[in-house]
Amino acid sequence: MKRVRISNAAIQPDQELATLLGLGGGALASFTGIVRDDGGVNAIELEHYPGMTEASLYRLIEAATARWALLGAMITHRVGIVPVGAPVVVVGTASLHRAEALEATAFLIDRLKTEAPFWKREHYTDGTAKWVDAKASDEARAERWV
């Protein structure tokens, strides 16, 4: 089971992950990214590159399933305006044993951060907005998997 989904509407982590529970494996690992209240932020806006987004997320899932014995892997990413406290991304993997799912989940979210064509703009309570800068620490974490 490999699944990529881009959603304009709110995402429910448990619904996204439900299929992974039934694959016969003993391990399900997941990561959910949530909009943080970083001092005056009331929402973020996510722009993406339709077509390339899906292709790049599928490539990441293919890379993960080539590297680890996975029974399934899924990524759901929200786009558009996302309010503080709402999930932005859900990554989940299932495997027979836990090591594979735990590592593959970290791999997928780390690589997504530097390879998938999404751009985040913070909207502040005072009505202003600002593009978020990429972080050097994200590059460093993604490099661990090369």
Partner 1 sequence: MKLVYFASVREAIGLSSEECDVPLDARTVGDLVARISARSEEHACALHDQTRLRFALDHEMVASDALLGAAQELAIFPPVTGG
Q: What is the CA radius of gyration of the chain?
A: 15
Indicate the residue among 14 and 55 with the shorter CB distance to a second copy. Answer: 14
User: Which residues, 26 to 85, sit near partner 1 by CB under 8 A?
Assistant: 33, 46-49, 51-52, 55-56, 77
- State how far the Cα of 110 lies from the Cα of 107, in Å rounded to an integer: 5
Number of residues this chain uses to bind a second copy (CB under 8 A):
31
Strands 87-95 and 129-131 turn out to be: unpaired
State the DSSP H helix or E strand holding residue 57, giving kind and residue range, or none if neither. helix 52-67
Candidate ranges 16-24, 63-71, 99-107, 118-126; the one touching partner 1 (CB under 8 A): 118-126
Q: Residue holding tokens 């014995």?
A: 69
Quick one: which of 11, 30, 61, 70 contacts a second copy (CB under 8 A)? 30
Our CB check for a second copy shows the closer of 48 and 113 to be: 113
120 lines the binding site for a second copy (CB under 8 A):
no
Give the other-Cβ count within 10 Å of 145's Cβ.
Answer: 14
Q: Does 76 bind a second copy (CB under 8 A)?
A: no
Report the C-alpha gap between 78 and 91 in whole angstroms: 12
Task: Give the footprint of a second copy on this chain (CB under 8 A).
Answer: 13-14, 17, 21-22, 24-37, 85, 87, 96, 98-99, 101-102, 105-106, 109-110, 141
